[in-house]
Structures are given as structure tokens and as C-alpha cells.
A and B are shown apart, each in its own frame.
Chain A
Amino acid sequence: MTSERAITAQRRFGYGVVPDAPARVVRDPLGYAIGQLNDYEYKDRSGLESSSALLTRFKVMQRSRRESDSADAFKAAGALVKGQMQQETGYRFKTAVQSGKPLVERLVSFWSDHFCVSCVKGPQVRLIAGAYEREAIRPHVTGRFRDMLGAVMHHPAMLIYLDNTSSVGPDSPKGRKFNQGLNENLGRELLELHTVGVDAGYSQTDVTEAARIITGWTYNSSPGDETGHFLFDARSHQPGQFTVMGVVFDQNGEAQGDALLDMLAAHPSTARHIAGKLVHYFVGDNAAPALTDAVAQRFSETDGDLKETMIALLQRAESWDAPAAKVLPPFDMLVAFSRLIGVKLKNEEVIAMSRSLGQPLWEPRSPAGFPKGDDDWATSGAMVGRLKLAMNMARQSDLQDDPMGLANAALGRNVTQPLEDAISRAATRPEATAMLLLSPQIQLR
């Protein structure tokens, strides 16, 4: 018998229900969720190239393009970017559908959005956005926040996306020689989005000082073995001591930025900001404030241990008892459909479908990531897209079982009378399947 909590463990803390759920989720939903976190050990099994290798290849193509003015080199670079995006999308989608640790995959998605980069920036970010997630996000989702923050801030994808590669201290050797200046983009988002949050009470001066501290944080774009790796460029670094949120940073060089990240990661506002976002992401817009308090407290007392922080969220009853009100984002819906009815999608289809539903992977419109509110994806135009997609996927599925059998196997007693009516009175098997896919039991978490 599938209990309410077993369903919640799969929907709210996973990528949706399946007809053949593991025995443990039925027996012990909380233990099943926590067990995924305890058992997670990072290893890159994608078989895909590193961002440095990709950037090296890209730079070679760019150079030959400049030297020969060749349209062929331009096309080759385009093909590299496109091909990489297809493979990375395929890896992300397949892992989400097949993983025995769907909660870990949800955390990858959460942190990838929290520290988002976006392909709208241009072909270089598009080329390495997937690698960025594999290199800077995945290894740390059950590790320490400070480590993830450090990996993000040292990664070329983030340094390019938020323009730190073109931020130069005005009084640095390079700044004086070429009359170049500061770009505050990454400094600002480091405070506003990545750590303490917009309500932490910092000022524009704090933003500027933070941006000064991380001048020189760039990546190596010259030819050689180090292409695509982080580089501290002392010639761009603004010399001097700076103050951010009342803390003085008098270190030299790269250590100054590391000290800034230490301070921000340990700041109480960061604990609240991260806890609030996690609760909002998993539980919804109307979660109890006490829940956020508990999660923030755990974040603080464990020095930002993300596994312990997540376990604190899981251990609170209100995390499970809040009604399912969050409409699945499009990518999560594709994963949920595929898990439930077993339709296999080609990489190009995943790209096209998530784009047409408004959520192209690694391509949010702003550094704040994709919309996060409970109903943000429930717009009239988007619902039409969902309906069409559900019908198309239902037609593609070669369900041996009847849709009602599938509903019962996946949802147990969560199959309500209206859902049973909708499925049993459908005119065709695809329509019955579509009713299941579109039901609140599948669309909401």
C-alpha cells in the first residue's frame, strides 16, 4: 500500500512517481530520502569533456577563424557548441530519469539554478554550461557550501557569464596602462544572489568593494596546457585593502577573494537566504517560517554542510505535510513523464521540448535563474503547451498495462475519484494516459 508520504518522497523530494517504486520508499519514506544523501559519492560518469578541454578546442577554432577569416572555422565552432549542448542535455536528462537517487538530482538542479550561468551570454558559456554543472555543482551538492561557492567563483563559465573576465582594477597595472575599469556584475550577484541575499542590508559601496576584491579572477585563454583553467591575473587586481559589510580585507592577491568568500559563506544572512530558497524550492510559497528557521540554524551550526542542512529540512513534519501546490517546471515535467510512462526522448527532443515550454536548460533569462513561484509555470499559454506535450508523449508510449493500472501502481490510494473518472471515461488509451499526465497528482509537487 502506497502511503501519502511515499508519494511525497517521490514527488516533492524526487522527480516523480514510478509504477515500480523501490520497496524502501514504501516502508520508510524519510529513510529513503536521507539514504540517498548518505549514499551519494560524486564521480563524473558522463564521459564528457572537461570545460578546459572544450575551451582549448574552441580557442583553437577562434584563432584559425581570425587568421584565415574562414567561414568554415566559424561553422566548426558552432557545430562543437551545438553537439556539446546535445550531449550535456542528454546526460542531465538521462541521469534525472534513471538515477536511483532522484533527490540528489533535484539538488543538482537547485544548486545549478542558484549559481546559474546562462547560454544567452554567448557560445562560450553555451559550450561549457553542462561541464560547469558537472565540475562546480555536482561534486558539492552533499558537501560544503563554501566549497561549492569556491568552485563556482573559480569556474570560467561563471567568470565569463557575469563579466569578471573583463573587470579590471582601475589602479592595477593593466587598468593604468589600458585605462580599463571595474565591472561589478559578479561582485553584485555574489552578494545579492549567491550568498547573503538582497535583504542583508549591504550597500552599493559593499558591492563595489567586493568587485574590487575579485578583480584579476579570470581564466587562462592563451594557448597552452593551462587554457580554460582558472587564473589569478595579478596585473588586473586592484591593489589595496577593502571593506565589505563591515569586514576589512587586507590580504594580498587571490587570498583576498578567498577571505571574502569565507566571510560570506559563514554570514548568518547566507544561512537564512539559502534555507529560505531550499524551503521554497522543495515545499512551496506558503511554507511555515519556522521551517526556514530550523534549516537556517542547521546550516549555521554545521558550517554550511549541505547534506546536514537538507536532512534538517527532511526531518521536519511540515516539509511533508504541506499540500502539493508547486507546478512542475517544464524540465521536471519531462523527466516525470518519462519516468512514469517510460517514453525515451532523443537529446534533440529534450532540447526542443524544454525550450518550447519556456525552460531551455542552462538558459534562464536572468542571473536569478528560472521562475520559482508555485504558479509561475501555470500560465494560459504554457498550459496549452503542456496539454499538447502530454498528448504527444501519451501517443508515443507503448504501455502494455492499461492507464488505470499504471495510475494505481504509481499513485496507490492517491488515485481520487475524479482522476479515476477522467481516466476511465477517456475515449482512447492515449487520451486516458494524457489525463493521468495532466492530473494534479503528476503536475504538482
Chain B
Amino acid sequence: MTFLHPTRRGLLIGAGMASAGAFAGWTHTPAHSSLSGSRDPRFLQVILRGGMDGLAVAEPTFEPRLEQLRQGILLGNLGEAALPLQGGFVLNPKLKNLHEMYLRGEASIFHAVASPYRGRSHFDGQDFLESGAAGGKALETGWLNRALSVLPQKNGPARDGLAVSLTAPLIMRGKAPVITWRGGGLRALRPESFSRLMELYSADAPGLKSAFESGLTLTKLADEPPSGEGSPFVNGMRMAGQFFSKPEGPRIGMIDLDGWDTHAEEAPEGNNLGKALAELDAGLAALKDALGAHWKDTVVAVATEFGRTVRINGTEGTDHGTATVAFLVGGAVQGGRVIADWPGLQDNNLFESRDLMPTMDIRSILKGVLSDHLGIAEGVLSDVVFPDSQTVKPFSSLLV
């Protein structure tokens, strides 16, 4: 085994990577540039809104205080067996597909991760995560849009950044063109009526016309699920996979999922955390299925604005916290690992005596992906994509 003793502060890092690479990973230069050769990389950012409880997703069973701090929401009490991970962690049983990907080496789990934000407001936290700000105040544009803006120009509206959302969330706002997709409906009108509507717009409302038409272009690339059926998130993941699979489709996108703000009744069967996890898990499987052979060229990053308190509150839930888990999933991920500089759960280990202490900056993971997967140079990442992040080194060797 290559991880250090987990109950001390030490680096946990999985098989398949030389132990010497552990800290070298923080400073290593990118191994490959994906823009060379025949690879056609896909990247999807999944944002979990509401603050996901990382300790209830990947639980450190080796922590002696866990029972005392979180009795009532421990994974061992769920009725379903928790899924084994390396280093003494177990995965929430609702994440079966993710676990299967992990076992196949297609998913890595990062623990004790946080953005630079240290407050406890959802919207400020999400603004930091999405804008990629280093501190102070969130920025007006999103890091994913800025990443798009520094990539080589692609042609056609379908090559724009994809936001599986009604309007572009902050992470996708900026100069680079963005196309949004959300649920079917264009078929509600007959094609003849549709074209008459376009005639109406062409004279007086060019903005409406181009918005409608790019939506239609995108819709034609994929088989829309029947409107109103299934989870919008799972449908969105499937659609993203279909769009990403088309030669003329987009390659970089985002999607979000609400429902992580588990202040109460976090644990019982049928609870809100379990529901949200099951939806996330089904979405990942739908995406993989829709991508088919392109899964091997895909990286999905899953992140939330912050974690939750280590102790449960008076209503069997948890309140806003700091560090939490993040995932990288996809055929291009060198997975099967739990990666953490584990801070411990003793009182003096906690952030402000209440939260899991952040020991890893989410930007180091994202910079590693953007560098090795999309070939964005480190200097550009530190100046443009994540401004003022020179000291946050890209994590290397995250990808195959």
C-alpha cells in the first residue's frame, strides 16, 4: 500500500502510482498535451449546489471519533452495505455506479477539498467555485468560460461551451460563446409553424431567432427524451453525452444538480442526501452510456461549494461547513484512488472547531485536468483561468 498512516496527517494515495510521485504530483509538469495527436478530449463540470456532506459520501471509518460525532448518520447504519474504498474509506451505497467506475480505475475521489472560500454562504461559495476567484470577491465571469476562451477556435455554434441549463450559470458566463440546452419542447410546434415563427423573428427580433435556431441545431444532434419523463439531471447527463459524441457537437460543458443542503434528516432511508446521491449516480451512468467509445476521452469533474459540519445538529442533519469531497470520473482518469492529505477529526484538527479542515485546493485538481486534458499552459491557467493562483500548483498524473 502506498498511503501513509491515515490517522496522522498524511497523504493517502492509491495503487498504480509510485509513492515517490505523491508530493511530486504537485509540481510535476504536464505529461501530455491532448491537443496533439488524435485525441479529442471531452470535459464536463458537474456542480452540486447546496453543500455536499463529504463525510457522508466517503466516510473515514478509521476515525475513532466518528461514532461520537455522527451517530445516526453513519454509513454503517444505512441498511445497505457501504462500498469499500482504499485507505479505510467507504463510499455511500447510493453511489454504486461510481463505485464500479472506481473499481475499473475510472474514478478518483479527493477528500478534504475546498475552494478558497471560507465563509458559509451558499451563494458566495458557489460564486467562488464558479468564478474561480482567488479571494476577496467573486469574479463576474466563470473559469470554464475563460478556459474556453483560451482554447483554439472551433467552428460552428455547436462547438460553443455547453450549459445544460436554462441560462448560462456563472461558471459559463463570459466572452466565449455558450449554448444552453434544457429539456425538449421544440417539437411542441409543427415544423411549418416553427419556420413561420422564425420569419416573424428575422425582421424584428434577431436575438430570439438565433437563440431558437442554435437550440434547434443542438436538439437535432440527439434523441431528446420525452418531455417531462425521468429526472432532468439524468436526462441532461444523457443529452450531454450524446452532444459530446457527435463530430460537430460541443466538447466542453457544465451541468448542475440541487438538493445537497441537508440540514435535517440526512440519514434515514429515502432521505434527501440519498436521493441526491442516487440521482448523481444514475446521471454518471447515463453519461457514460451515451458517450460510448468516447468515454475514454472524457473527464468529468464533480464539485460542490463547500462541505458540512463534522458534528450532526439537533435535527439529524448537518450545517454549512468547509472541506468536502470532489470526484474525477471518466475513461481518461487514472482512477481507483482516494487522494487526500487527511487532516483528522480531533477537535484541534477541525477548521474553526467544527468543519473538516481543507488541505487541498479544488483549483489544483481542476488546473491539473485543464493542463493535461485540454493542454492549457500553466501560466495561462494561473493568470487567466484561475487568476492569482500561481501558488496553487496543478496536480499532475491525475489522468491516464
Contact = CB atoms under 8 A, between A and B. Distances in A.
Interface of A: 65-66, 69, 71, 74, 118, 120-122, 163, 188, 324-325, 327, 356-358, 365-366, 371, 374-385, 387-388, 391, 416, 418-419, 421-422, 425-427, 431, 434-435, 438-440, 443-444
* Interface range, B side: 35 or more
Given A325-B207, A385-B182, 19 more contacts: A65-B315, A69-B314, A74-B264, A327-B207, A358-B167, A376-B167, A378-B208, A379-B180, A384-B219, A385-B183, A387-B189, A387-B212, A388-B183, A388-B185, A416-B200, A418-B199, A427-B193, A435-B193, A440-B205
Contacts of A327: 205, 207-208
B188 A388 contact: yes
B185 A440 contact: no
Interface string B173-186: 00000111111111
B34 interface: no
Given A385-B185, A387-B188, A440 B208 contact: yes
Interface of B: 121-123, 126-127, 137-138, 163, 165-170, 178-186, 188-190, 192-193, 196-197, 199-201, 203-205, 207-208, 211-212, 214-215, 218-219, 227, 263-265, 314-316
A325 B207 CA distance: 9
A212 B178 CA distance: 41
Contact of B200 (A375, A378, A381, A418): A418
A378 B211 contact: yes
Contacts, number: 146
B200 A71 contact: no
Contact of A71 (B167, B196, B227, B315): B315
Contacts of B199: 418, 421-422
12 contacts: A121-B123, A327-B205, A365-B126, A366-B127, A381-B163, A383-B212, A384-B215, A385-B183, A388-B185, A431-B193, A440-B204, A444-B205
Contacts of A444: 204-205, 208
Contacts of A66: 314
Given A74-B264, A358-B167, A418-B203, A383 B208 contact: yes
B196 A425 contact: yes
A372 to B, nearest CB: 13
B123 A438 contact: no
A381 B215 contact: yes
A219 B126 CA distance: 27
A146 to B, nearest CB: 27
Closest 6 interchain pairs by CB?
A380-B215, A381-B180, A381-B182, A388-B185, A440-B205, A375-B207
A384 B182 contact: yes
A426 B315 CA distance: 55
A388 B184 CA distance: 9
Contacts of B121: 121, 163
A438 B203 CA distance: 14
A155 to B, nearest CB: 19
B166 A385 contact: yes
Given A381-B182, A382-B167, A418-B200, A431 B207 contact: no
A383 B166 CA distance: 8
A422 B264 CA distance: 52
Contacts of A388: 183, 185, 188, 227
B303 to A, nearest CB: 17
Given A387-B186, A418-B199, A440-B204, A381 B167 contact: yes
A387 B185 contact: yes
B166 A357 contact: yes
B196 A380 contact: no
B185 to A, nearest CB: 4
Contacts of B138: 366
B192 A419 contact: no
A374 B189 contact: no
Nearest to A426: B193
A377 B205 CA distance: 13
B167 A438 contact: no
Contacts of B211: 375, 378-380, 382-383
A379 B172 CA distance: 13
A431 B189 contact: yes
Contacts of B197: 422, 435, 438-439
Nearest to B265: A71
Contacts of A374: 207
A434 B192 CA distance: 14
Nearest to A192: B137
Nearest to A431: B193
B123 to A, nearest CB: 4
Given A439-B200, A440-B205, A434 B265 contact: no
A356 B166 contact: yes
B122 A120 contact: yes
